[in-house]
Amino acid sequence: MISNEEYNKLLELQFDSKSNISANKIISGTILKISDLQVTVDIGYKSEGQIPKEEFINTGHSDDLKTGQKVEVFIEKLEDKEGNIKVSHEKAIKMKSWEKLQKIFDNKERVKGFIVGKAKAGLYVKIMGTNAFLPLSQIDVRPVRDVSHLIKTEETFEILKMDYSKGNIVVSRKAILEDKQKEIKKQILEKSKNDSVVSGKVKTFTDYGAFVDLG
Determine which helix (DSSP H) or strand (DSSP E) holds 175, and give its type and residue range: helix 174-193
Amino acid at 121: A
Beta-carbon count within 10 A of 40 CB: 16
Average confidence score pLDDT of the chain = 83
Report the C-alpha gap between 90 and 87 in whole angstroms.
Answer: 9
For the chain, percent of residues with pLDDT exceeding 90: 29
Report the C-alpha gap between 124 and 135 in whole angstroms.
Answer: 9
Closest CA to 10 of 22, 23, 25: 25
The pTM is what? 0.62
Helix (H, G, I), strand (E, B) or coil at 108: coil
Digit-coded pLDDT (tens) for 158-204: 999 998 878 889 999 999 999 888 887 787 777 766 666 767 777 77
**Higher-confidence residue: 43 or 101?**
101
The stretch 113-142 carries a mean pLDDT of 91
Let me know the angle formed at the C-alpha of 59 by 146 and 151, rounded to the nearest 5 degrees. Answer: 10
* Residue 12: pLDDT band with limits 50, 70, 90: low
**What does the DSSP 8-state code read for residue 189?**
H
Name the phi and psi angles at 134, rounded to 5: -110, 105
The stretch 129-144 carries a mean pLDDT of 91
Q: What is the pLDDT of residue 205?
A: 73
pLDDT at 18 > cutoff 60: no
Digit-coded pLDDT (tens) for 91-118: 888 888 888 999 999 999 999 999 999 9
